[in-house]
Amino acid sequence: MAQPQEDNLFKNVISHAKEYGFIFPSSEIYDGLSAVYDYGQNGAELKNNIKEYWWKFMTLLHENIVGIDAAIFMHPTTWKASGHVDAFNDPMVDNKDSKKRYRADQLIEGYIEKQEEKIEKEVEKAAKRFENFDRAMFVSTNARVVEYQNKINEVSTRLAQAMSNSDMVALKQLIDELEIACPISGTRNWTEVRQFNLMFATEMGSVADDANKIYLRPETAQGIFVNFLNVQKTGRMKVPFGIAQIGKAFRNEIVARQFIFRMREFEQMEMQFFVKPGEEMKWYEYWKEKRLKWHKALGLGNENYRYKDHDNLAHYANAACDIQFNFPMGFRELEGIHSRTDFDLKSHEKFSGKKMQYFDSEANTNYIPFVVETSVGLDRMFLSVLCSSYQTEKLEDGSERVVLRIPAPLAPNKVAILPLMKKDGLPEKAMEIMNDLKFDLRCFYEEKDAIGKRYRRQDAIGTPYCITIDHQTLEDNTVTLRNRDTMQQERVAVADLRHKLVDACSINNLLRKI
């Protein structure tokens, strides 16, 4: 549960994102569209940089991974084969008094979270009381904590069972038994729990008779599976190999709140790694570790990431976990790592009647490869970067500044070029410097307002460096270089700027840490 302070942080981040051109509500002049957002001039740059970081990691650092860009529309049978037509459902329940709709499983998970919080509170209290506090011992022996833990175990097991059996009656029973109340109305006046398919459907073809029901893809993965042999043959790929893709996905989420965390139109960065059957667990562990390293290399704080195994495996998986991030509302899924077995390829073989087999020339046999998938939401990545880099600081002169400490390689602008005054040839000199740097670094030019005010604006959009051109520049060809994080200023020769800044702002700088 988010603490009030964290709620405030989230609210501040949301309004900051709008005020500084990162994210706008979609079609805002018509009062917006629920759970759909547009990325503004700074947001689009940050998003592109995150994509580049992911794409380069996958396709440059792994010689056996290639990227594709499949269409959003796919043959409707694709979604029969993948199981989405029959099983891509969420259980929904309405509160009759508030008329609010919830995901039944999330209401029950909320109950579990509350029990976990109770345990943490007991642990905190005890840790204050005892000097040589042994957490594990306390948790296993304290009667109240044991009771909470037992309840968590029981509810988790029943939830997992109900979800995997699609047992709506059992979910309703749990909601009633646990006396879960609607956070809005406070009542327990619930409807039955019903299944709700999350796919958006539309029609293809100009004449009604020709119209064919097709879906907006709910995940990008299927575009990779149906192209598996095209890529393998034309790229002469040998198992193990991967196919990466970045693209839009659409889900008619029942409860789409929490800003860009859960949207109806969002973007995924997915990689399907095709392996020899029997080797999937080795690769599952490999990708779990690699992907966590990729996240941690951003420097947003190692303590903000954790793994969470799935209690409830999807129909296609034999192992699955999430990498969770500590968002303002608590630890939540950022990326999923799934061992998808040969479910998808096998199913496409069955539905299409086309062979989906790989010929292993070394073993001289054919087989359908197993698949390990890494799937991260681009928008959730964006949110993790924005929330953890947003900071307010008290300065020595008593004033306050808001700074986005976005990792330099991801920042929308790398350098702000600021002539101290709008006269005496300073703007011309500034443009000369900008024209030299702009091929390597995204520069932002501004000459209006006092320099302090301009620095603050750059802090607020996360520009890691400001270059100030003054009268001394005209004499000795040096500028003031200001660092966003430390606010330190140093005098640097114009000739040294590129060499000083390009490496610090390069995506490669992050990639080398992985």
Q: Given the rule CB under 6 A, which residues bind ligand ATP? A: 219, 251, 253, 262-263, 266, 268, 333-336, 375-377, 379-380
Exposure on the CB side of residue 320, measured as CA atoms within 13 A: 18
We find the least distance from the C-beta atom of residue 464 to ligand ATP, in angstroms, to be 26
> Of the candidates 62, 49, 44, which has an alpha carbon nearest to the alpha carbon of residue 505?
49
- Please name every residue paired with 336 in a beta bridge, in sequence order, or none if there are none: 322, 375
What are the angstrom distances between the C-alpha of 193 and each of 102, 104, 111, 162, 408?
10, 7, 17, 12, 47
We find the least distance from the C-beta atom of residue 321 to ligand ATP, in angstroms, to be 11
> Of the candidates 107, 285, 290, which has an alpha carbon nearest to the alpha carbon of residue 191?
107
**For residues 272 and 473, which CB has a smaller minimum distance to ligand ATP in the complex?**
272
**For residues 380 and 484, which CB has a smaller minimum distance to ligand ATP in the complex?**
380
**For residues 271 and 356, which CB has a smaller minimum distance to ligand ATP in the complex?**
271
We find the least distance from the C-beta atom of residue 250 to ligand ATP, in angstroms, to be 9
**For residues 172 and 332, which CB has a smaller minimum distance to ligand ATP in the complex?**
332
Q: Which two tokens stand for residue 392?
A: 């307010």
Annotate 138-182 with three-state secondary structure. HHHHCHHHHHHHHHHHHHHHHHHHHHHCCCHHHHHHHHHHCCCCC
We find the least distance from the C-beta atom of residue 351 to ligand ATP, in angstroms, to be 21
We find the least distance from the C-beta atom of residue 95 to ligand ATP, in angstroms, to be 21
We find the least distance from the C-beta atom of residue 269 to ligand ATP, in angstroms, to be 9
We find the least distance from the C-beta atom of residue 253 to ligand ATP, in angstroms, to be 5
**For residues 376 and 505, which CB has a smaller minimum distance to ligand ATP in the complex?**
376
Sheet holding 194-197, edge to edge: 101-103, 89-94, 194-197
What distance in Å separates the CA atoms of residue 341 and residue 200, rounded to the nearest whole number? 26
**For residues 55 and 367, which CB has a smaller minimum distance to ligand ATP in the complex?**
55
Torsion of the alpha carbons at 293, 299, 303 and 308, rounded to the nearest 10: -40
188: how many CB neighbours lie within 10 A of its CB? 15
Q: Which two tokens stand for residue 302?
A: 């190692």
We find the least distance from the C-beta atom of residue 268 to ligand ATP, in angstroms, to be 5
Residue nearest to ligand ATP (CB): 377
**For residues 345 and 378, which CB has a smaller minimum distance to ligand ATP in the complex?**
378
**For residues 372 and 481, which CB has a smaller minimum distance to ligand ATP in the complex?**
372
E strand segments, 328-389: 330-341, 358-360, 365-367, 370-377
* Residue 353 amino acid letter: G
